[in-house]
Amino acid sequence: MPTQTHNVRVAIDGPAGTGKSTLARKLAGRIGAAYLDTGAMYRAATLKVLESGVDPEDTAAVVAATKDLELEIGSDPSTSVVILEGKDVSDEIRTSRVTESVSAVSAIREVRENLVALQRKLAWSGDRSVVLEGRDIGTVVLPDAEVKVFLTASPEVRAQRRTDQDTAAGRAADYDEILAAVVARDEKDSSRAESPLRAADGAVVVDTSELGIDDVLERLADLVAKAQGK
């Protein structure tokens, strides 16, 4: 008689360039789960700020610009769809101008509160397992997630991955500039007052610097299987 399994919530955190998005998508597809890219939500909020002509450092103006964000985000791990005010901005939110400002916007308490509330709603609304990835899923959004993982890798490895990713996507990419941006964002994200980047209590820390995607995926799949009672 097969062992009964149950739905689980998987929280995958870590800095940019650790393979979070790729692994979260692959894991969701493998276990038949919904997928939620929370980083894309903050990028969409940042794009809204920039398009509104607001200075990302102007807290009051950022809060006003993102208060009633018309945002839809897909849960299918095989696609990446982000709709902002009726427009598909899936590619636009990955541009360098958004990347340069997203830390400032996401550090604002009111912005985080609004998006965390939406993330929790999405995580609880489905009838299947869900994989969420970001920077504070295990620490803030879903501290009671059945599976919590913190991915890491050296800044140099992450910068090279981002350079390769941008080049493959046809975007201009300079390794030295990207490395400097990676280091700067790490500092901002780990030192901010609101939801600083860190491993959640009970999270499994995985260094992906020398590991291939498939190797990490197998480890994550094993963690999920154990949580499901398989």
Each residue's pLDDT tens digit, 79-102: 889 999 999 999 999 998 998 899
16 annotated as belonging to a binding site for a ligand: yes
Q: Positive or negative CA dihedral for 108, 190, 216, 180?
A: positive
Own/partner long-range contacts of 217-226 (Cβ < 8 Å, ≥24 apart): 217/23, 217/26, 217/27, 217/30, 220/10, 220/12, 220/23, 220/27, 220/147, 220/149, 221/27, 221/30, 221/31, 223/147, 223/149, 224/8, 224/10, 224/27, 224/31, 224/129, 224/147
22 annotated as belonging to a binding site for a ligand: yes
17 annotated as belonging to a binding site for a ligand: yes
Does pLDDT of 2 surpass 50?
A: no
Give the whole-angstrom CA distance, residue 125 versus residue 115.
15
Kindly state the average pLDDT of the residues 43-55: 96
Q: Give the CA radius of gyration of the chain.
A: 17
14 annotated as belonging to a binding site for a ligand: yes
18 annotated as belonging to a binding site for a ligand: yes
190 annotated as belonging to a binding site for a ligand: no
Q: pLDDT per residue over 145-155, tens digit each?
A: 999 999 999 99
